[in-house]
Amino acid sequence: MNLILVSVLSLGGIGAVSAIILYFISQKFQVEEDSRIEEVEAALPGANCGGCGFPGCRAFAAACVKADSLENLACPVGGMPTMEKVANILGKTAMPVEPLIAVVRCGGSCEHRERTNRYDGVKSCAIVHNLYGGETDCSWGCLGYGDCENSCTFDAIHINPITLLPEVDEEKCTACGACVKACPKNIIQLRKKGHKSRRIYVNCVNQDKGAVNKKVCDVACIGCSKCFNVCAYDAISIHNNLAYIDDKKCTLCRKCVEVCPTNSILELNFPPRKPKVEETSNVVLNG
């Protein structure tokens, strides 16, 4: 009996003392934190993908609370609805953001771009890029080992086993930009999602001379300027033998697609054309 009493009392005593110490410590070291951070964080998707440019949702929430206006602060994953919620909580106004999507700018599938040597080593684009130009003779294009796929937290980009090129799942892609950073060749870019998801872009990043890259890939941009000449909106520029379509200026008129001699300009999610234009060899990546 006595034994039980002693143990209960001593244990209880230790417990009480510890509780008191803990209480004071927590008082002393308590961090004053804006309770709104908690609230904002709850409104965010919680993916911690870093797409907003902050290391995780909480940091972004803190930044939103601290900032005077929500300019330049946007959560690509939640998009407008989320930002409006955040704006409501903080009594600020959300800036409209254009929805973006990741776009893979290489059309060098196995069929179009012959593999001239065989790589045998770690299947990682970063490592291959560090070593040499890749299995094909095009040292600019996609290597196909899927660093983008591994970097995506939303399961939205996958290497197609037949073409060995990555394909973006439009439903799942949140434009967080992880794949853009992961790709050592800088092939992936975030572009305007576009009206009804329609997009036009140059599906190539090869800056070699036309005569050179024509040999290594059927669908390379050869920098011939045809699209540049046909564009009425000044949306196309040509640098280093490579055309680039500015998604801010492009009106999706589709003229350039027709004139490209190598079919390296891609149009996505457009209704089929009138039959007079032949459209057979253009691989449409709908993913």
Partner 1 sequence: MKTFKMGGIHPEECKFSAGKKTEVISLPKQVVIPLRHYSGKPSIPEVAKGDMVKVGQLIGRADGFVSANVHSSVSGKVVKIDNALDAFGYKNPAVFIDVIGDDWLETIDLTPKVKRTCDLESSEIIKKIAESGIVGLGGATFPTHVKLSVPAGKKAEVLIINGAECEPYLTCDHQLMLEKGEEIIIGITILMKAIQVKRALVGIEANKPDAILNIEKWAKTVEGVEVIPLKVKYPQGSEKQLIQALTGREVPSGGLPIDVGAIVQNVATTFAVYEAVQKNKPLIERVITVTGKSVPEPGNYWVRVGTPLSHVVEKTGGIPEDTGKIVAGGPMMGRALPNLEISVAKGTAAVLFIPSSESGRGKVQNCIRCAKCVFHCPMGLEPYLLMNRSEKNLLDELEQNRVMDCIECGSCSYVCPSNRPLVDYIRYGKLKVGELIRSRKVQQL
Partner 2 sequence: MNKLVVSPSPHVHSGNSIQKEMKSVLIALIPAYLVALYYFGVGALIVSVTSVLSCVLFEYLIQNFILKGEKTITDCSAIVTGLLLAFNLPSNLPIWIVIIGALVAIGVGKMSFGGLGNNPFNPALVGRVFLLISFPVQMTSWPRPIPFNPAYMDAETSATALTALKEHLENIPSALDMFIGNMGGSMGEVSTLALLLGFAYLLYRRTISWHIPITILSTVFVMTGIFYLVDPQTYASPLVHLMTGGLMLGAIFMATDFVTSPMTKRGMFVYGIGIGVITVVIRLFGSYPEGVSFAILIMNAFTPLINTYIKPKRFGEVRKK
Q: Collapsing DSSP states into helix, strand and coil, what is residue 165?
A: coil
**Residue 190 C-beta: closest distance to partner 1, Å:** 22
Give the C-alpha distances (Å, rounded to integers) separating 31 from 18, 26, 211: 21, 9, 64
**127 near partner 2 (CB under 8 A):** yes
N-to-C CA span, the chain: 75
The only residue of 3, 26, 35, 118 in contact with partner 2, by rule CB under 8 A:
118
The only residue of 7, 72, 117, 251 in contact with partner 2, by rule CB under 8 A:
117
**Residue 127 C-beta: closest distance to partner 2, Å:** 7
Separation CA 212–CA 70 (nearest Å) = 48
208 binds, among partner 1, partner 2, none (CB under 5 to 8 A by kind): partner 1
The only residue of 139, 160, 269, 282 in contact with partner 1, by rule CB under 8 A:
139
The only residue of 20, 132, 253, 281 in contact with partner 1, by rule CB under 8 A:
132
**Residue 162 C-beta: closest distance to partner 2, Å:** 19
**Residue 144 C-beta: closest distance to partner 1, Å:** 15
Separation CA 119–CA 54 (nearest Å) = 36
Nearer to partner 1, 120 or 171 (CB): 120
The only residue of 127, 159, 224, 238 in contact with partner 1, by rule CB under 8 A:
127
Total residue count of the chain as it appears in this document: 287
**130 near partner 1 (CB under 8 A):** yes
Separation CA 46–CA 53 (nearest Å) = 14
Q: Dig out the tokens for 128 from the structure.
A: 């291959």
**Residue 44 C-beta: closest distance to partner 2, Å:** 35
| DSSP states of 206-222 | --S-HHHHHHH-TT---
Q: Collapsing DSSP states into helix, strand and coil, what is residue 192?
A: strand
Cα 165 from chain centroid (whole Å): 16
What residues numbered 160-199 form the site for partner 2, per CB under 8 A? none
**110 near partner 2 (CB under 8 A):** no
Burial group, residue 9, by CB count within 10 angstroms (0-12, 13-18, 19+): exposed
Separation CA 81–CA 83 (nearest Å) = 6
115 binds, among partner 2, partner 1, none (CB under 5 to 8 A by kind): partner 2
Nearer to partner 2, 128 or 243 (CB): 128
Residues of this chain that interact with partner 2 (CB under 8 A) are: 115-122, 127, 131-132, 135
Residues of this chain that interact with partner 1 (CB under 8 A) are: 116-117, 120-122, 124, 126-127, 130-133, 137, 139, 208
